[in-house]
Amino acid sequence: MNKTYSRVVVPKDLDTGTSTETSTWIAKNISREFYLPMVVSADADITKDDLVILGGVGGHEDPRIHQKLEAKGIDYINVEKGYCNWWKPKFWRLTFNENQVTEIKGQWDNKRFTAFNMPMRPMKKDGEQVYIVAPSQNGFDIYDLPIKVDDWIEQTVTEVKKYTDRPIKIRRKVPKKARGSRGFCDTLDNIYCVISLHTMAVTEVLREGIPVISMHPGVLKNYSSNKISQINNLYYPSDTERGKLFNCLTNIQFTNQELVDGEALETMCDYYGIKILPK
């Protein structure tokens, strides 16, 4: 499907660091002739003739900018940290008109996944603790959930206790320097399952062999449970299923150089079956 645009726009309110840089690489990749760094409000001055390059779900003053663009029928590309090795932001995923990949499709080899040197560990069924991993407040705002972090934790604990008397472990989001060498994957000993709506986090947990209850399923909708009421009947995906998942995810996340030279954009367009053209 051809997608034609008059302008490619990078909104003014991106973070001045990485978000602006990666979004600009993609914009220039499409066409230097009709790329335009906007100095006006994305909320008011962008139309259906524009393609917007967003710098992640948390890189904007308005955390609901994605929903507002969707409501107006305005196309966007989202540039966000990659699903694998996300605690070291050297890889980026591109999505078209969605914040995260919602379908695993295509045939991918495992060369890229293997190169990450993060093996897919066997699924475990012997853990004892339920691990509740809370997102930041920004995570709730992005998904338009009118709740505070503390209230979500309290409600989640109450819901878990309806179905199991397993001990509960809680993790709040902490500064990067306190997250360990592999995010919170360093703290998965004796874990029965992980509950969260932080998609990248539960994706890595699944690679570590821990079943997950993904409260915002997205890319994991076919690889996890998505209701706390399922906690005594968790979904344990096969190695073949997880291999398909991680082969796909690692092949649709990219290095800085791949953002610059166009390989990332070309792969994204093939993935979504689109071709981006100037009007």
pLDDT at 177 over 70: no
Q: Which residues of 22-39 are buried (b: 16+ CB within 10 A; e: fewer)?
A: bbbbbbbbbeeebbebbe
d(C-alpha 13, C-alpha 55), whole Å: 9
pLDDT in tens, 97-112: 988 888 898 889 999 9
Report the mean per-residue pLDDT for the chain: 82
Residues β-bridged to residue 223: none
Strands (E) located in 11-134: 35-37, 50-54, 76-81, 92-96, 129-133
Give the confidence band of 273 by pLDDT, cuts at 50, 70, 90.
very high
- 94 near 268, Cβ under 8 Å? yes
pLDDT at 9 over 70: yes
Q: Are strands 2-5 and 275-278 parallel, antiparallel or unpaired?
A: parallel
Give the pLDDT of residue 39.
41
Give the pLDDT of residue 15.
57
Answer left, alpha or beta for residue 85, where phi above 0 means left and psi between -120 and 50 means alpha.
left
Residues β-bridged to residue 51: 8
Give the pLDDT of residue 200.
78
First to last CA, the chain: 14
Give the pLDDT of residue 229.
96
Residue that is written with structure tokens 């966000």 in the block = 80
pLDDT at 61 over 80: no
Q: Among 44-58, 184-198, 210-224, where is mean pLDDT lowest?
A: 44-58
Give the confidence band of 46 by pLDDT, cuts at 50, 70, 90.
confident
Give the pLDDT of residue 132.
93
More confident residue, 126 or 87: 126
pLDDT at 237 over 90: yes
The CB-side HSE value for 76 (13 A sphere, CA atoms) comes to: 29
Percent of the chain at pLDDT exceeding 90: 37
Cβ count near 197 (within 10 Å): 23
Tokens of 70: 């969707």
Give the pLDDT of residue 153.
92
Give the pLDDT of residue 40.
42
Residues β-bridged to residue 253: 93
d(C-alpha 136, C-alpha 165), whole Å: 27
Torsion of CA 69, 72, 76, 80, to 10 degrees: 20
Give the confidence band of 83 by pLDDT, cuts at 50, 70, 90.
confident
Classify 2 as helix, strand or coil.
Answer: strand
